[in-house]
Amino acid sequence: MSSSTPLLAVDELSVVFHRKGHGETRAVDGVSFSLEEGRVTGLVGESGCGKSVTSLALMGLLPERGVKVGGSAVMRLSDEGEDLVEADLLKVSQRRMRDLRGTQLAMIFQDPLSSLNPVVPIGVQVTEILKRHRGMRGAAARKEAADLLYRVGIPDPTRRLNEYPHQLSGGMRQRALIAMAVACKPRLMIADEPTTALDVTIQAQILELLKDLVTEEGTALLMITHDLGVVAGLCDDINVLYAGRAVETAERGPLFADPTHPYTVGLLGSIPRLDAPRGEPLTPVRGSVNDNIAWADGCAFAPRCDHYTMECLQGPPQLVRMADGESGSPGGAGHVHRCVNPISHADVVDRAVLESPAVAGDDEEERG
C-alpha cells in the first residue's frame, strides 16, 4: 500500500437491468469495496448475488442497452510525479475504457475454452494485445508472446503459438488467458471463478500462478469464487455479497475467526476453518436466493435467517463497523457487517452507522 488512496475505490456501485416484460432487476444494489496493490480481495456469495455483474461493470463490459450503472469506481492510474491521475471507470468514455482495458485492468473468466476464439491461433490471440497496447509487431511480438506463455507455465511455447484452443488442455487454456491478461502488466486483475471449470489438481496450479503474480508484480487481484479453500488460501480481504449488497467485509483472519453475519456463518459452515481444503464449496445455506425481500423493506436475507426478529424488517439494515479489538483477531478494524442481530462472539458495542438510511426512492423498487 504505497499510497493513501486505494488503487480502486468502488463506492455504492449499483447495476439495474431493464428488460422488456421483465421489469427491473437490481443485480448490484450499492456495493462498496476497495482494492490495494499486492492484495487479493475476494467476492463471495451464492449464484446470482451479483458477483459477475460487479466485475463486468468495472470492466465496462456490460451490455450497452438496457443497463443503468450507478455509483463510482475510481482507479488510480499513475503515481508518477505529484499529480494523482485518477479515472472513474464507470464514467470514462468507451474509447478511453478500451485503452485502459488490458493495460490498467484485465480480466480472466470462468470457462477457458469458450473464452478463447476457436478459429484463431493462440499466438495471434496473444500478440494482438501486444500490438494493440505495446505497439509490438512481427517477430518481436511473437517472441514476447512465447515469453509470456512460458512465464505462465506453458512448456514449448513457440509450438503452442501456432496451435488452436482445442489443442490445449483446460489448464493450458486458462494459463494462456492469464498470459493475455498480464501481457501489459495491468495493476488490477479480476478473476471470475477462474478455476471452476478445471480439475482439482489444475485448480491448485492456477491459483498458485495467480498468487505469484500478486506477490511478484504487486498486482491487485479481485477474486470471485465459490470455493471456501480459495477464500481461505488466497484472499486477504473478503466481501460477502447477498442479493446485490455486501453483507460482511473483513480481512481473512477476522472473518474466519468471527463471522458475524448469519449468512457468512452459514456459508463458512458450522466450523469455519482457515485450512479448508481447496475444492470444498461454500456450505449451501438453507432456502434459496429467490426467497428474499427487497432491501428497501428490510434485510433481504430475513426469509432464510435463523436469527431474524421484527427489527430486521424495519428498513434496510445499515453497515456496522465492529469496534477495535472487538474482533478476535488483529486487523479487525475493517470488519463491517450489515445485520441487526449479528452473531456475537463479543457484543457489538460501537454501532457506528456507516451509511445514511435508504432514500425514499428505494422504497418504490419491488422485486418480482
Partner 1 sequence: MLRFIVRRLLQLIPTLGGLSILLFVWLQRLPGGPEYALLPDDATAEQRAALRRSLGLDEPLAVQYLTFLRRIVQGDLGTSLQTSRPVLDEFFLRFPATFELAVTAMLIAVTLGLPLGYLAARKRGTVLDFAAVGGSLLGICTPVFFLAFILKVVFAENLGLFPSAFRLSPGLSRTDITGFVVLDGLMTREWDVVTDALAHLVLPGLALASIPLAVITRMTRASVLEVMGEDYVRTANAKGLHRTTVRTRHVLRNALLPVVTAVGLLAGSLFAGAVLTESVFAFPGIGSFVYAATQTRDYPVLTGFILLIATMYVFINLLVDISYSLLDPRVRAQ
Ligand X SMILES: Nc1ncnc2c1ncn2[C@@H]1O[C@H](COP(=O)(O)OP(=O)(O)OP(=O)(O)O)[C@@H](O)[C@H]1O
Which residues of this protein are in contact with partner 1, per CB under 8 A? 59, 61, 97-103, 106-107, 109, 111, 114-121, 124, 128-129, 132-133, 164, 166-167, 177, 180
Output the smallest distance, CB 347 to ligand X, in A.
Answer: 32
Does residue 319 bind ligand SF4 (CB under 6 A)?
A: no
Query: In the complex, what is the shortest distance from the CB of residue 130 to partner 1, in angstroms, rounded to a whole number?
Result: 10
Q: Select 122 or 206, whichever has its Cβ closest to ligand X.
A: 206
Q: Which residue lies nearer to Mg ion by CB, 197 or 312?
A: 197
With contact defined as beta carbons under 8 Å apart, do 235 and 40 qualify? yes
| Rounded-to-integer distance, Cα 255 and Cα 275, Å | 13
When CB distances are held under 5 to 8 angstroms depending on the partner's kind, the choice from ligand SF4, partner 1, Mg ion, none that residue 61 binds is partner 1
Please work out the total of residues on this chain that contact ligand X, with binding judged by CB under 6 A: 13
Report the alpha-carbon distance of residue 161 to residue 123 in Å, rounded. 4
Report the C-alpha gap between 30 and 26 in whole angstroms.
10
Task: Tell me the per-residue interface mask from 23 to 52 with ligand X, x by CB under 6 A, - otherwise.
Answer: --x-x-----------------x-xxxxxx
CA distance 284 to 122: 38
The span from the CA of 81 to the CA of 3, in Å, is: 13
49 versus 129: smaller Cβ distance to Mg ion: 49
Q: Which of 53, 312, 322, 348 binds ligand SF4 (CB under 6 A)?
A: 312
Q: Which is nearer to ligand X, 25 or 41 (CB)?
A: 25
Asked whether the CA dihedral 75, 79, 80, 83 is positive or negative, the reply is: positive
| Interface residue with ligand SF4, options 59, 308, 316, 319 (CB under 6 A) | 308
Residue numbers at the binding site for Mg ion (CB under 5 A) = 52
- Burial state string for 118-140 with b = 16 or more CB within 10 A and e = fewer than 16: eeebbbebbbbbbebbbebeeee
Burial 209-246 (b: 16+ CB within 10 A, else e): bbeebbeeeebbbbbbbbbbbbbbbbbbbbbbbbbbbb
- Length of the chain equals 368
Smallest distance, Å, CB 291 to ligand X? 14
* Block residue for cell numbers 471456501: 228
Helix 122-134 vs helix 138-151: angle between axes, to the nearest 10 degrees? 110
Q: What are phi and psi of 162, to 5 degrees?
A: -90, -5
Please spell the DSSP secondary structure of 60-122, one letter per residue.
T-S-SSSEEEEEEEEEEEE--SSPPEEEETTTS-HHHHHHHBTTTEEEE-S-HHHHS-TTS-H
Q: Which is nearer to ligand X, 26 or 338 (CB)?
A: 26
Task: Please say which residue, 190 or 319, places its beta carbon nearer to Mg ion.
Answer: 190
Q: Taking CB under 6 A as the rule, does residue 57 contact ligand X? A: no
Min dist CB 264 to ligand SF4, Å, is: 9
Contacts of 97 (CB under 8 A, 6+ apart): 60, 89
> Is residue 63 close enough to count as binding ligand X by CB under 6 A?
yes
Q: Which of 7, 13, 35, 53 binds ligand X (CB under 6 A)?
A: 53
Judged by beta carbon distances under 5 to 8 A according to partner kind, the member of Mg ion, ligand X, partner 1, none in contact with residue 47 is ligand X
Binding ligand SF4 (rule: CB under 6 A), the pick from 181, 183, 299, 348 is 299
SS3 183: coil
Where along the sequence are the contacts to ligand SF4 (CB under 6 A)? 261-262, 299, 301-302, 305, 307-308, 312, 317, 339-341
Where along the sequence are the contacts to ligand X (CB under 6 A)? 17, 19, 25, 27, 45, 47-53, 63
